[in-house]
């Protein structure tokens, strides 16, 4: 049985990934901060949502803030204690802020975006990759992250978000090289406009009626579903994906074309 740790698990792409992996027979530690951030003007995932994801999938819930390296180390330790090791770590936690030019964004909101969306991925890598490497050879460990089409496409009034996601893309490319020859790979997916609470908040920041207004900007002509992103993450999590490393895989409905 393969084991996985997923951050941002209470809702959105993280929750969809927990559901997909659990359905495929993984043992999953579903990690989320499960609390609002006073710096951000919208609601984050809740303990009730995290509990619902866990109860519906058989995953184990674990409350941790990705900005806290000690909390992520404890989450990794819990996965190893419970299941004897860790095979997959997926950084799906994310927040968004902006709606004004960068120089007008409140510093605490900018910090939240950079600290969760980039530093949180780095923190998970530092905590989880040693656990992936503790598996005996031949290893098939997988470190995965959720980037964004914003990593390559400049989005006005979301500069910090673009910077963080570009950082995630650069991080996995470097990790792919650093992990060469170990059997552990590092990759990211780059979603387009996906029907999640982050997209709903993006619509509010742009003064749009709702997330559906983003559908027209994608060549597929619709919003993506979180499960579509989760399916690609699940493929990259499998042992059979070992030929792919240091990659940023677009799952964006053509948004970045």
* Cα–Cα distance, 251 to 248 (Å, whole number): 9
Helix (H) or strand (E) holding 75: helix 69-83
42 is catalytic: no
- In this prediction, residue 146 carries a pLDDT of 98
Candidates 99, 107, 112; CA nearest to 156 is 99
Token pair belonging to 57: 């999938």
Which residue is associated with the tokens 């994310």? 94
- In this prediction, residue 110 carries a pLDDT of 98
Which residue is associated with the tokens 């084991």? 3
- In this prediction, residue 104 carries a pLDDT of 98
Q: Strands 247-251, 27-32: parallel, antiparallel or unpaired by DSSP? A: unpaired
**Residues 31 and 124 sit within 8 Å (Cβ to Cβ):** no
- In this prediction, residue 114 carries a pLDDT of 98
Candidates 231, 228, 251, 252; CA nearest to 241 is 231
* Cα–Cα distance, 115 to 22 (Å, whole number): 28
Taking 70 as the pLDDT cut, the residues of the chain under it are none
- In this prediction, residue 257 carries a pLDDT of 82
Candidates 81, 105, 98; CA nearest to 156 is 98
How far is C-alpha 49 from the geometric centre of its chain's CA atoms?
17
Give me the catalytic one of 26, 42, 161, 206.
Answer: 161
The 10s digit of each residue's pLDDT in 170-196 is: 999 999 999 999 999 999 999 999 999
Domain 3-251: what homologous superfamily?
NAD(P)-binding Rossmann-like Domain (3.40.50.720)
Task: Note the pTM of the prediction, 2 decimals.
Answer: 0.98
Candidates 10, 247, 33, 1; CA nearest to 144 is 247
- In this prediction, residue 79 carries a pLDDT of 98
* Domain ranges for the chain: 3-251
- In this prediction, residue 202 carries a pLDDT of 98
């Amino acid at each position: 049985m393969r084991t996985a740790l997923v951050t941002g698990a209470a809702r959105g792409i993280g929750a969809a990934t927990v559901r997909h992996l659990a359905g495929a027979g993984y043992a999953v530690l579903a990690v989320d901060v499960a609390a609002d951030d006073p710096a951000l003007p919208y609601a984050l995932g809740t303990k009730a949502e995290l509990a619902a994801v866990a109860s519906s999938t058989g995953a184990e819930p674990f409350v941790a803030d990705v900005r806290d390296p000690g909390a992520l180390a404890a989450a990794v330790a819990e996965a190893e204690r419970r299941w004897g090791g860790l095979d997959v770590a997926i950084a799906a936690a994310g927040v968004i802020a902006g709606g004004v030019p960068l120089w007008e964004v409140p510093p605490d909101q900018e910090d939240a975006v950079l600290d969760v969306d980039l530093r949180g991925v780095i923190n998970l890598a530092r905590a989880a990759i040693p656990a992936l490497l503790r598996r005996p050879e031949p290893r098939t460990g997988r470190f995965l992250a959720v980037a964004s089409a914003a990593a390559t496409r400049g989005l006005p009034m979301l500069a910090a978000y673009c910077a963080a996601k570009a950082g995630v893309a650069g991080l996995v490319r470097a990790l792919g090289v650093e992990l060469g020859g170990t059997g552990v790979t590092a990759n990211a997916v780059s979603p387009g406009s996906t029907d999640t609470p982050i997209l709903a908040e993006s619509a509010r920041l742009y003064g749009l009626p709702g997330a559906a207004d983003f559908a027209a900007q994608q060549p597929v002509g619709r919003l993506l579903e979180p499960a579509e992103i989760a399916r690609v993450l699940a493929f990259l999590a499998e042992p059979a994906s070992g030929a792919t490393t240091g990659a940023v895989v677009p799952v964006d409905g053509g948004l970045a074309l």
